[in-house]
Structure 1
Amino acid sequence: MGRSRTYEWQDPAVTAAAVGRGTGLEFLRDIAAGRLPGPPVGATVDFTLDEVEHGRAVFSLLPGEEHYNPIGSVHGGIFATLLDSAAGCAVQSTLPRGTGYTSLDLTVKFLRPVTVETGRVRAVGRVVSSGRRTALAEAQLFDTADRLLAHATSSCLLFSVPAA
């Protein structure tokens, strides 16, 4: 009665080496278009970058049993991963050439349970405020009926990326 799942990913060093070579928006668009490999975590959790524009990023996931916690719903860490990705990439989409970011914190509020029956969910991230050294972003997780499932805020540290 066991279940299994097989997935593969590409060398993450290829994508990491591209950070800062162009703008953050160009970088994310290259990932979305398949010109750069997606991050291995996307394959592990099975989520995708669906939309990206300046200051906004959208990821989606079709919940499966492999995302469940012991009580029969999607684990909060899956929510947090989607929300962190959406908020962080919203920030990244605003960065100029030669600049990178990292998350300083993530605060998540879980509002509704998610199960396989919920259907596809999407995390919509947007930049709230950005300065020279830090940025604040938020992300919201929605179901197909646009009900809010979770909300997050994230502070990000901005830094120069050394030229390759």
Structure 2
Amino acid sequence: MTDLTCAANAPGPDMFPSGRFTFQEFLGLERWIDGDVVRVRLRHRPELMNYIDSFHGGVLMSVLDAAMAGAIRAQMPGCSMVTIDMATHFMGSTRGEINAVGRLLKRTRTLCFCAADIYDEAGELIASATGSFKYRPAAAGAVQPTRE
């Protein structure tokens, strides 16, 4: 299992060689590769909740997007990508920790098609998404993020 942690206080300078503080770090996402999927965990934080004290839908969509992008990076380390589209289905809500699983479904010459699901602490499915991403393979000699 390869760790791809993106928590605000977790990664060292080797994980983000540009020195930038990313949106995923701001959210406090923890990511790791587990076989052919990527898992993403997000713990409860009051500032990420909506007015009924459950995760805001935009936060859930960001977690799904991160899980799918992580699945691409797990298969093609160092590549860059942008989300072209994403279809999201909300089936529930939660206040506690959430866990997502992202999968790369198919890859063409320039596009990747992915899926991701979010589960609550009890293992209930609360959101699902599919997305397409335009990617560019890593340039020769590019700095690759690493994690010990």
- 1:139-154 residue pairs with structure 2 within 5 A? 139-154=116-131
Aligned to 2:47: 66
Alignment size in residue pairs: 132
Q: Flag the 1:75–1:133 CA change in 2: closer, same or farther, 3 A.
A: same
Q: Flag the 1:69–1:55 CA change in 2: closer, same or farther, 3 A.
A: same
User: Which amino acid in the other structure matches residue 37 of structure 1?
Assistant: M
Aligned to 2:112: 135
TM-score, normalized by length of structure 1? 0.69
1:126 aligns with 2:108: no
Larger-Rg structure? 1
- Following TM superposition, by how much is the alpha carbon of 1:132 offset from its aligned partner in structure 2, in angstroms? 1.7
Q: Flag the 1:101–1:53 CA change in 2: closer, same or farther, 3 A.
A: farther
Aligned to 1:47: 29
TM-score, normalized by length of structure 2? 0.76
Task: Flag structure 1 segments of 5+ consecutive residues without an equivalent.
Answer: 1-28
Aligned to 1:17: none
- Following TM superposition, by how much is the alpha carbon of 1:84 offset from its aligned partner in structure 2, in angstroms? 0.3
Higher helix share: 1
State, as a whole percentage, how many aligned pairs show the same letter. Answer: 25
1:155 aligns with 2:136: no
- Following TM superposition, by how much is the alpha carbon of 1:73 offset from its aligned partner in structure 2, in angstroms? 2.5
Which of 67, 81, 92 is the equivalent residue of 1:101?
Answer: 81
3-state SS in 2 of match to 1:81: helix
- Counterpart Cα distance in 2 of 1:30 and 1:125: 15
Aligned to 2:146: none
- Counterpart Cα distance in 2 of 1:30 and 1:47: 12
Q: 1:37-94: per-residue Cα shift (whole Å, max 9, x none)?
A: 3652233212211x21464111111122211223432210110111000011101211
Q: Flag the 1:157–1:73 CA change in 2: closer, same or farther, 3 A.
A: same
